[in-house]
Amino acid sequence: MEKRDKTGRRRPTAFFLACVFLLVSPLVRRSMENFQDLLPVMGEKLGSQGLMEELCSGFRLLMDQQRGVITPESLRRNAGEALGMKGMTEEEAVEMVREGDLDGDGALSQMEFCVLMVRLSPEVMQRSWSLLAQGLENLGH
């Protein structure tokens, strides 16, 4: 049965929250010697549609409800409440948002968040480069 929060919104799974915690935080990743990339595992378990639904749930969990985007302030507040990342500094939150802010507005749209999650996955990016290399190689033959 699908879990819902007190407002009726679908609650992300604990597995997903662990992935968001590791993927969203380059600061955390840099300090980990044995970083485990969980996004490919999620993709295999959930399928592409399920993975996108979970990423969107994670976005909604972290976003500013009035603006509909993830701001450094909403990231600090909501990551602290949902992920136990209390004590995240304003500087850290700004850096995390900046990492995925493609349009330079100081916030993450849902699309920017999903792109960031995929881009920060070393295994997914390696697969993408491999597919690109194969495609280019096939063009040459």
Model confidence pLDDT, tens digit, residues 43-88: 778 787 887 888 888 888 889 999 999 999 998 888 877 777 777 8
Residue whose C-alpha is closest to residue 9's, from 73, 71, 82: 82
Contact 39, 121 (CB under 8 A): yes
In a domain, 37, yes or no: yes
Position 39 scores a pLDDT of: 72
Domain with residue 110: its CATH number is: 1.10.238.10
Residue-range definition of the domain harbouring residue 62: 14-140
- For residue 122, give both structure tokens: 């070393």
Phi and psi, residue 69, nearest 5°: -135, 165
Q: Of 19-23, 102-106, 121-125, which has the strongest mean pLDDT? A: 102-106
Confidence check: pLDDT of 1 > 50: no
- For residue 15, give both structure tokens: 């597995």
Q: Which residues of 65-81 are buried (b: 16+ CB within 10 A; e: fewer)?
A: eeeebbbbebbbbbbee
Number of domains the chain contains: 1
In a domain, 8, yes or no: no
In a domain, 69, yes or no: yes
In a domain, 9, yes or no: no
In a domain, 5, yes or no: no
